[in-house]
């Protein structure tokens, strides 16, 4: 089994470079690259089918902040996606919402990808807009369309392996190092990442996509440049129409899962069993197709370093871990450890190398679908004492 990789674009600002009025990029949480499994020969762009909402779904959206006027403008712009996607944004004033928007004068722009929003605690934002960056209607418009594109499952277009952008990497490293304080790795993650070719499933690269970042001519070796795109491109429209068809069913479904309402994980030392019992509390719902889900707990030392072990028992990629795996049919809802301790993960004391008295446990749920590993939930570390 491979380790779970969770790539977080940590940047808050991008392109405060001369000639551009907008200074904030998008610090959206990016899932790992994966194979896309639908056929839209004419569509352009990248999407993650595993995090799509159901076709025809009503997605509830609520603002956590912002003036009524600003909220109304965001709402009107976001709803443009509804013209092409069989999906409806239901903006509500109170109650449980799938997408929760913070309008603030800081924090950059970002959004969770599609249904991954369900992995965020109910009181917290799943999307952020930095209003200090809304210096014009166009700047606001392209940002809202872009972030809502992420929220319904789209990924950055410039990560397309068929984009073939001839980056002049040294200049980009230098300029973003100076203007943003980014190190090389941060630039690599945010600009030079490439998805596997299979991920595009034969779709074309679209430099006019709302999901493409601007590219300055001096950042490429041949003067290739991409301007700010303020509108949905024809490629964006055809892609989202294929993902959420207004007539008929989605062409190629994949297993889709949402882990929500994670509230805690009880960690209990058991002298009788000579080990640690773990009771993560969460809900999981399934859609699309049958799929296999792994519920895991990885162990770290008190400083957050993985506890290594390679005896081939109770480890994942040589990190001490325990798991249970289940094949789950679509359209099910399962509840773990809400009303009783009904779902236990266990690890014997003998699996911990000598010398650990304090440790941390991290609950991770993921889907394994053929070659595809898709993260569904990642908890914060939970500290506990090993009382053998």
Residues in the chain: 388
Site string for Zn ion, 125-164 (x = CB under 5 A): ----------------------------------------
Q: How far is the CB of 87 from Zn ion (least distance, A)?
A: 19
Q: How far is the CB of 214 from Zn ion (least distance, A)?
A: 12
Give the interface segment with Zn ion, choosing from 24-32, 91-99, 254-262, 302-310 (CB under 5 A): 24-32
Classified as helix, coil or strand, 238 is helix
Q: How far is the CB of 146 from Zn ion (least distance, A)?
A: 6
Strand-pairing partners, residue 26, are 109
Strands (E), 220-371: 255-270, 275-288, 291-301, 315-316, 319-328, 333-336, 345-348, 358-369
Strands (E), 141-218: none
26 binds Zn ion (CB under 5 A): yes
Give the interface segment with Zn ion, choosing from 19-27, 31-39, 305-313, 314-322 (CB under 5 A): 19-27
Interaction with Zn ion in 46-105: which residues (CB under 5 A)? none
Q: Are strands 275-288 and 333-336 parallel, antiparallel or unpaired?
A: antiparallel
Q: What's the rounded Cα separation, in Å, for the pair 225 and 222? A: 9
Q: Which is nearer to Zn ion, 146 or 364 (CB)?
A: 146
Q: What's the rounded Cα separation, in Å, for the pair 236 and 233? A: 5
Q: How many residues bind Zn ion (CB under 5 A)?
A: 2
Q: How buried is 71 (Cβ within 10 angstroms: 0-12 exposed, 13-18 middle, 19+ buried)?
A: middle
Q: How buried is 128 (Cβ within 10 angstroms: 0-12 exposed, 13-18 middle, 19+ buried)?
A: buried
260 binds Zn ion (CB under 5 A): no
Give the interface segment with Zn ion, choosing from 26-34, 47-55, 171-179, 307-315 (CB under 5 A): 26-34
Q: How far is the CB of 347 from Zn ion (least distance, A)?
A: 38
Count of helices and strands (H, E) across the chain: 6, 17
Q: Which residue has the tokens 């990885």?
A: 298
Q: Which is nearer to Zn ion, 26 or 297 (CB)?
A: 26
Give the interface segment with Zn ion, choosing from 18-26, 32-40, 258-266, 283-291 (CB under 5 A): 18-26
Q: Which is nearer to Zn ion, 26 or 226 (CB)?
A: 26
28 binds Zn ion (CB under 5 A): yes
Q: Which is nearer to Zn ion, 23 or 28 (CB)?
A: 28
Q: Which is nearer to Zn ion, 211 or 278 (CB)?
A: 211
Q: Which residues here bind Zn ion, judged by CB under 5 A? A: 26, 28
């Amino acid at each position: 089994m491979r380790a779970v990789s969770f790539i977080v674009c940590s940047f808050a600002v991008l392109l405060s470079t001369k000639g551009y009025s907008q200074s904030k990029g998008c610090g959206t949480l990016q899932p790992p690259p994966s194979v896309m499994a639908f056929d839209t020969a004419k569509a352009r762009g990248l999407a993650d089918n595993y995090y799509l909402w159901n076709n025809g779904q009503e997605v509830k959206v609520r603002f956590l902040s912002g003036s009524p006027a600003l909220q109304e403008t965001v709402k009107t712009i976001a709803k443009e996606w509804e013209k092409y996607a069989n999906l409806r944004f239901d903006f509500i004033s109170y109650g449980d919402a799938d997408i929760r928007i913070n309008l603030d004068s800081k924090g950059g722009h970002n959004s969770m990808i599609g249904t991954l929003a369900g992995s965020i605690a109910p009181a917290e934002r799943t999307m952020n807009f930095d209003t200090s960056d809304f210096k014009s209607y166009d700047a606001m418009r392209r940002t809202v369309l872009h972030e809502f594109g992420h929220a319904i499952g789209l990924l950055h277009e410039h990560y397309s392996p068929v984009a073939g952008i001839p980056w002049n990497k040294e200049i980009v490293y230098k300029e973003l190092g100076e203007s943003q304080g980014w190190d090389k790795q941060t630039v690599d993650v945010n600009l030079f990442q490439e998805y596997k070719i299979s991920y595009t499933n034969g779709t074309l690269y679209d430099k006019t996509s709302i999901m493409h970042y601007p590219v300055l001519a001096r950042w490429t070796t041949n003067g290739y440049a991409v301007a700010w795109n303020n509108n949905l491109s024809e490629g964006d429209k055809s892609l989202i129409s294929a993902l959420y068809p207004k007539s008929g069913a989605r062409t190629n479904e994949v297993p889709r899962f949402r882990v929500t309402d994670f509230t805690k994980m009880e960690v209990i030392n058991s002298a009788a069993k000579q080990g640690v019992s773990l009771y993560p509390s969460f809900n999981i719902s399934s859609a699309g197709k049958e799929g296999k889900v792994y519920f895991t707990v990885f162990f770290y030392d008190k400083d957050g370093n993985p506890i290594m072990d390679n005896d081939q028992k109770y480890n994942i990629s040589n990190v001490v871990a325990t798991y249970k795996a289940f094949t789950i049919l679509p359209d099910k809802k399962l509840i773990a450890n809400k009303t009783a301790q009904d779902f236990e993960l266990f690890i014997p004391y003998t699996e911990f190398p000598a010398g650990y008295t304090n440790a941390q446990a991290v609950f991770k749920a993921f889907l394994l679908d053929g070659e595809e590993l898709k993260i569904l939930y990642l908890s914060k570390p939970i500290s506990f004492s090993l009382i053998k």
